[in-house]
A = this chain, B = another copy of it.
Amino acid sequence: MINIVQIGLGPLGQIAVRFALERGTIRIVGAVDPAPDKTGQDLGVVCGLKPRGLIVQANLAAACRGKKPVVAVLTTVSSLSRLEPQVRELAEAGLHIVSTCEELAFAWKTQPQIAKRLDAICKQHGVACVGTGVNPGYLMDFLPCILTAVCQRVDRIRISRFQDASPRRIPFQQKIGAGLTLAEFRNKVAAGTLRHVGLTESMHMIARHLGWTLDRTTESLNPIIADREIRSGYKPIRRGQACGVEQIGRAKCKGREVLKLHFRAAVGERESFDRVEIDGKPSFTSLISGGINGDIASCAITINAIRSIVKTAPGLRTMIDLPPVGFTAAF
């Protein structure tokens, strides 16, 4: 049994709690969410379960009082600058940290100053911290890295994640702009609130693992426009509205494109799949038809990473430098 504290009880945090409890090998000794509708409530009830006799607290000190958590599962924000004080507080409390914060997946190139500060604070307190999730953290970075293990040469990697977002959680459908007019879509993009976060982080993670020095990375973002009325999502989408988002990340090394990450998430997307195409020696394609449900997978990998985070060296870590993460029935 390993003792954890859950920080953040949004949709992902609630699933993470249910998954952790299902394992039978993880003890949740505390939970934190300052939202007025959660603080003071029973953790089980907040997560759609039976009452568990554990009250959600407004802050870490209250949640940890008299408890001995070892790892914090941190499912709060996507923005690293907003996450930084939360990581700092957890590190100072001596807790290892597994977070679903997308920008934490590989911050060394995108936000190096914050990455260095987090690395230092974790080392100072002898704890390790990692950002994980299905993407970034696995399908478009860690898994492709692992697939190259059988390669004598890698010339180019193309990674595609195409997904029908209909079965995803509502905030995800909203995040990808499903059901917006094109004007609303553009406004949200301009405001920085509509995009999948992580393609650039994933490209830098792959480059680091493969020993590539990238010339530059680029990311494009466009709406996917409904070519019919779509009713499979959380609300109906009319023809001509946005039903999702398409983003393409590209990276060059020595003037040549070596990475293309193609992300499509839309309500009503006709085919879901996760594909990695490696050009090299040997060249091959790995395909997961139907794709991987991101909500289940992100929470599962977060729970599965707990075993690895307690075995690694202190500091800010990434999925490629943790001991290999896999499902585990034991801790």
Residue A303 at the chain B interface, CB threshold 8 Å: yes
Contact present for B324 and A146 (CB under 8 Å)? yes
* Interface contact B301-A150, CB-CB below 8 Å: yes
- Establish whether residues B320 and A296, one from each chain, have CB atoms under 8 Å apart when the complex forms: no
- State the CA gap A297–B331 with chains docked (Å): 32
Interface size on A, residues (CB 8 A): 54
Stretch of A80-88, A100-108, A259-267, A283-291 that contacts chain B: A283-291
Among residues of B, the one whose C-beta sits closest to the C-beta of A298 is B150
Q: Mark A98-121, 1 if CB is under 8 A from B, else 0.
A: 000000000000000000000000
Q: How far is the CA of A178 from the CA of B146 in the complex (A)?
A: 32
Tell me the minimal C-beta distance from A26 to chain B in angstroms. 12
Choice from B22, B152, B303 contacting A303 with Cβ under 8 Å:
B152
Interface stretch (choices A39-47, A50-58, A69-77, A206-214) = A206-214
Is A210 a contact partner of B150 (Cβ separation < 8 A)? no
Whether A326 pairs with B149 at a CB distance below 8 angstroms is yes
Contact residues, A159-212 vs B (CB, 8 A):
209-212
Contacts of A284 in B (CB 8 A): 288, 290-292
A19 is an interface residue with CB less than 8 A from chain B? yes
* Nearest residue, chain B, Cβ from A305: B149
CB contact under 8 A between A285 and B289, given known A150-B134, A151-B300: yes
CA of A24 to CA of B198, assembled, Å: 32
A136-170 interface code vs B (CB 8 A; 1 in, 0 out): 00110011011111111110000000000000000
Determine how many copies of this chain the complex contains.
2
The answer to the question of A328 belonging to the interface, with a C-beta cut-off of 8 Å to chain B, is yes
Chain B residues with CB under 8 A of A138:
149-150
Chain A 307-331 per-residue mask, 1 if CB under 8 angstroms from chain B, else 0:
0000000000001111111111111
Q: Which residue of B lies closest to A308 (CB)?
A: B149
Interface string of A271-288 (1 = CB under 8 A from B): 000000000111011111
In the complex the two chains form, what is the Cα distance from A6 to B134 in whole Å? 39
Interface presence of A59 (CB below 8 A): no
A299: Cβ under 8 A from any B Cβ: yes
A297 vs B138: C-alpha distance when bound (angstroms): 22
Judging by beta carbons under 8 Å apart, are A285 and B288 in contact?
yes
Contacts of A304 in B (CB 8 A): 148-149, 151
Closest A-B pairs by Cβ, 3 of them: A211-B330, A148-B327, A150-B297
A-B contact pairs, 13 of them (CB 8 A): A142-B146, A146-B146, A148-B326, A149-B326, A150-B300, A152-B327, A153-B327, A281-B296, A285-B288, A286-B286, A287-B287, A322-B324, A323-B323
